[in-house]
Structure 1
Amino acid sequence: MTTPNDSWKSAELRAAEAQVDARFKEAQDLANRLKETPLPPVPPVDFKAIAQQVERAAQERDAPEQLKALKRKVDAGEFTWEDVVSGKAAQDPDVQAMQQENVNKMKQAFQMLQEGMTAEEIMEAQRPRRDGDDDDQLDPDIFTEDKW
């Protein structure tokens, strides 16, 4: 970064310029190494299997409303579950609403991680609740050891 007429520069400025030059060279070297590094092949995505999982989730009694809206459209033949999970139906407002809900859950999970919660605690906090769900009350039809 030196020029023929840089006598006006202080020693501190020259040292800072030298550091910038060194970091720039390191960045260029790293970029060149990365260009030469072969990447592993990306495994194919099994959209059919993912679509089947989403379809099963949509059939659950306590499925989110966004998923139920998509199920109605799939049932009406507007698109398929594979279209939904592969992105072919990404412009549909109901698909976008479901995606936004997923983004909101990811943001919430990230916040919970930053607050120190464990993955198990986050999953439990985000578990869909059924009407009348009470963590202190078990379903009376469930046989547990304390009912012996």
Structure 2
Amino acid sequence: MTTPDDGWKTAELRAAEAQVDARAKEAQDLANRLKATPLPPIPPADFKAIAQQVERAAQERDAPAQLKALKRKVDAGEFTWEDVVSGKVAGDPDVQAMQQENVAKMKQAFQLLQEGLTADEIMQAQRPHRGPVDDDGDQLDPGIFTEDKW
């Protein structure tokens, strides 16, 4: 970074410029190594298996409203679950609503991670509750008579 008229530069400024030059060279060397490093191939997504998981989730009685809306469209033959998970119908308003719900959950999960919760705690917090639970967190059948119903 020296020029013919750089006599005005202090020793500290010259040292700082030398550090910048060294870091820039390190960054360029790293970029060159990364370009030369082959990446492992990305396995193709198994849209059929993912679609089956989404379909099972949509059949749950406590499925989110957005997922139930998609199920009605799939049941009506407007598109398939594979169309949904592969992105073929990403422009559909109900697909977009479901994606927005998922983005909101991811943002919430990220915030909880920053607050120190574990992944298991976050998953438990985001899991829909299907009814009353006992002291151990196990689901109870809503038809079971328990002391708290006296």
- TM-score by length of structure 1 reads 0.87
Distance 1:72 1:63 in 2: 12
Distance 2:133 2:3 in 1: 72
Distance 1:6 1:134 in 2: 77
Q: Mean Cα displacement is larger for which, 96-105 or 113-122?
A: 113-122
Where does the alignment leave 5 or more consecutive residues of structure 1 unmatched? 143-148
Instruction: State the Cα distance separating 1:16 from its structure 2 match.
Output: 1.2
Where does the alignment leave 5 or more consecutive residues of structure 2 unmatched? 145-150
- Give the equivalent residue in structure 1 for 2:141: 139
Runs of 4+ with >2 A deviation: 133-142
Conserved? CA contact 2:132–2:141, under 8 Å: no
Distance 1:63 1:115 in 2: 28
- Give the equivalent residue in structure 2 for 1:27: 27
Distance 1:64 1:140 in 2: 20
Distance 2:66 2:132 in 1: 24
Instruction: State the Cα distance separating 1:140 from its structure 2 match.
Output: 6.2
Instruction: State the Cα distance separating 1:135 from its structure 2 match.
Output: 3.5
- Matched letter for residue 112 of structure 1: L
- Give the equivalent residue in structure 1 for 2:147: none
What are the residue-to-residue correspondences of 1:1-148 with 2, within 5 Å?
1-130=1-130, 133-136=131-134, 138-139=140-141
Distance 1:72 1:9 in 2: 72
